Homo-oligomer: A and B are copies of this chain.
Amino acid sequence: MNSREIHLKRRPNGVPTAADFELATVPVPSPKPGEMLVRNVFMSVDPYMRGRMVERESYVPPFRLGAALEGGAVAQVVESNGGPFPVGTYITHMAGWREYAVIGGTGVMPIDPKAPLSAYLGVLGMPGMTAYAGLLKHGQPKEGETVFVSAAAGAVGSLVCQIARIKGCKVIGTAGSDDKVRYLLDEVGCDHALNYKTAGDLTKAISAKLPGGVDIYFENVGGAHLVAALNVMRPFGRIAVCGMIDQYNATTMPEGPGNIVQVIPKRLNIRGFIVSDHYDMLPAFMTDMSQWIAEGRIKWRETVYEGIESATDAFVGLFQGENLGKAVVRLGPDKL
């Protein structure tokens, strides 16, 4: 049996393009003892993957050239050679970017497919957990505080906004189009939303909406967003740094925040984090998030691309702001 998969053909220079990737057809090996053959139903497309396309030391090794990319996926077990889950089980795992995969048990979690399968790559998956852990642990929101979220219409940002609202905070979100701004106000429930491309000076635009300043900044973008955040933060504010998508494609050293000195008079705390450091919060996340969804307090959107041949476009689109909510690629039907 053959499977199609996306290979990294060359390391992107700047913004990734389709030419950096290659769709390859490869034979699928039989599962060895303890392994399973799984059919990927959805694969996840995430900005953080850009970092793994660079050859450097980091918290995860870089992707190898000429090999399949890796990323989150929802799959169904189709064959098991004494593997950890029986045939038919739906699971999440990290061998996405291919139609079929042979995997062991590492990083594999069974899921209860009552929610739509793709939700386990979004609101009930890594982005949901990122929003939950980042905001609650590093933002430490208190009722009545103000929260600024950049890339607020994205997979993580849109959930941060809603969790902050649930915690009794006032929320301002930024996004890159008027449609996204409308989405933030009408569906996500932001108190304020700005199109950063047309809002002019971000510091002034945020201050106009929240003259009292901001207690928490959930950082997804970097650059001018971070500068504005440092300007509008209130004393003892917290900046939870989840991502800086503005900088992932930089080919030279990007400009840093020239007002970083603000951390002293304002006693700010800036904390970078990675979701996998907070897996101790996973049970609380699943409980809270499931309940919030059941109560209708958390909503989500997805941008669904069809077929593995569209995965590259989906990834490149992340850096053009194409996606509203979570970007996923459907690789096959829920059930065969």
Contacts and interface: CB of A to CB of B under 8 A. Distances in A.
A300 interface: no
Contact of A264 (B267, B269, B274): B274
A222 B270 contact: no
A210 interface: no
Interface stretch (A107-115, A175-183, A237-245, A282-290): A237-245
Contacts of A241: 263-264
Contacts of A257: 256-257, 260
Contacts of A273: 264, 267
Contact of A58 (B227, B265, B269): B265
B261 A247 contact: yes
A258 interface: yes
Given A256-B259, A258-B254, A264 B244 contact: yes
A253 interface: yes
A269 B267 contact: no
A71 interface: no
A227 to B, nearest CB: 8
A243 B260 contact: no
Contacts of A222: 260-261
A266 interface: yes
Contacts of A69: none
A243 B244 CA distance: 25
B243 A264 contact: yes
Interface residues of A, number: 35
Contacts of A82: none
B242 A264 contact: yes
B269 A271 contact: yes
Contacts of A258: 253-256
B272 A267 contact: yes
A277 B272 contact: no
A51 B271 contact: no
A228 to B, nearest CB: 13
A59 B262 CA distance: 11
A277 B266 CA distance: 11
A68 interface: no
A263 B271 contact: yes
A332 interface: no
Nearest to A60: B265
Interface string A50-86: 0100000011000000000000000000000000000
A214 interface: no
A265 B51 contact: yes
Most buried by B among A59, A254, A265: A265
A264 B130 CA distance: 13
A268 interface: yes
Nearest to A56: B265
A275 B272 CA distance: 24
Interface in A222-255: 222, 226-227, 235, 241-244, 247, 253-255
Contact of A261 (B244, B267, B268): B244
